[in-house]
Amino acid sequence: MISIFKVFNPLNVLWLAILIFVLRIGYVAEAPDKLQFIFVEPFARLLIPASYEYAFSPVANVFLAGVIVLGQALLLNYLVNYYNLLGRSTFLPALMYVTLTALFTPFMTLSAPLICNFLVIWMLFKLFSFYKSDDAKSTAYDLGMIVAAGSIIYLPYIYLFLSIWIALIIFKPVNWREWISGILGYATVFFFFAVFYYLNNKLGSFYHIWAPLGTKFPNSINIKYYNYLVLVPVLLILVLYFFKLQQNYYKSYVQVRKSFQLLFAIFLIGAGSFYVKTQFNINHFLLCAVPAAVFFSYYFITANVKWMYESLYLLLLISIIYFQFNTF
């Protein structure tokens, strides 16, 4: 399958749709009677007064999530090819994204982190543009507004604001006006949000929006480790990716090297911000799927031993499907 997606062929969109169906059919068969979908944070519920949490049946919920994943996969694929991060045009980023968004059953349903991945991809388009821009103030302002919008949908997204400053450090000389522009963009959205609170006589509780950011990082998390054995092939591919990147790092263009540094920073920020939500939800780590898909693609595009990389991807697929039916 990897060999098919290494080639940039529009017919691969059909194969992606088939793969999305195959990876989710097992979950649909075992899905609960109701699936909750929360689109915005509780503090933004005033914006959507109607009840929508159970508006979709389980089948419709998973179907719509699959359509969203396909759209995001194609956008990510366009992003990677546009900035030539892999050295040639390919459909591997789309394949890897579709695969990673099926790792766990909570990944397969509609959720706020899944919606936020549109914003992650949108941010990457703008962040990568820093490299060739003479003046990034307007772009940084736009990015601040995107982060603010993401925070309304899913509060831990606020930490991706750090990616704006990290990108400015990586791609450009220090310019304090560009750093401030991101803050102004974020403040603009929440200024209008404060006005909305004021008009609804809720201004006194406005500052409570950011209270969860004071949550202490947990000392331990109670999880069933057997449910996460599917991560074994994932970790193996990540190790192989870092090995391949180390081999080819200085052979790549400067922009490509800097882009991978930024992607790694976004991966760490996404992974580390899970503790903001009082209840641990594995679907938070969908925020890591975009950079991880690029990492996986880099390994598979540079791997030379066909039987090895094809077997490794097949192992990952089998693990995903197996753990859909076995939760121990």
Local confidence band at 72 (pLDDT 50, 70, 90 cut-offs): very high
User: For the whole model, what pTM was predicted?
Assistant: 0.92
Rounded distance, CA 157 to CA 277, Å? 11
Rounded distance, CA 73 to CA 13, Å? 10
Q: What's the pLDDT score for residue 327?
A: 54
Q: How many CB atoms lie within 10 A of CB 78?
A: 15
Q: Which of 257, 246, 233 has its CA nearest to residue 309? A: 233
Tens-digit pLDDT profile for residues 104-119: 888 888 899 999 999 9
8-state DSSP, 277: S
Q: How many CB atoms lie within 10 A of CB 131?
A: 19
Local confidence band at 179 (pLDDT 50, 70, 90 cut-offs): very high
Rounded distance, CA 187 to CA 195, Å? 12
Which amino acid type is present at position 274? F
Residue 50 neighbours by CB under 8 Å, 6+ apart: none
Tens-digit pLDDT profile for residues 294-319: 999 999 998 888 888 899 999 998 88
| CA 275 to chain CA mean position, Å | 17
Q: What's the pLDDT score for residue 52?
A: 66
Residue 262 belongs to domain spanning:
2-325
Tens-digit pLDDT profile for residues 81-93: 999 999 889 999 9
3-state per-residue secondary structure call for 34-96: CCCCCCCCHHHHHHCCCCCCCCCCHHHHHHHHHHHHHHHHHHHHHHHHHCCCCCCCCCHHHHH
DSSP-based three-state secondary structure for 221:
coil
| Whether pLDDT at 80 is above 60 | yes
Rounded distance, CA 56 to CA 63, Å? 10
Q: What's the pLDDT score for residue 245?
A: 86
8-state DSSP, 130: G
Percent of the chain with pLDDT over 70: 92
| CA 94 to chain CA mean position, Å | 13
The total domain count for the chain is: 1
Least confident of 36-40, 58-62, 97-101, 242-246: 36-40
Rounded distance, CA 100 to CA 285, Å? 10
Q: What's the pLDDT score for residue 328?
A: 46
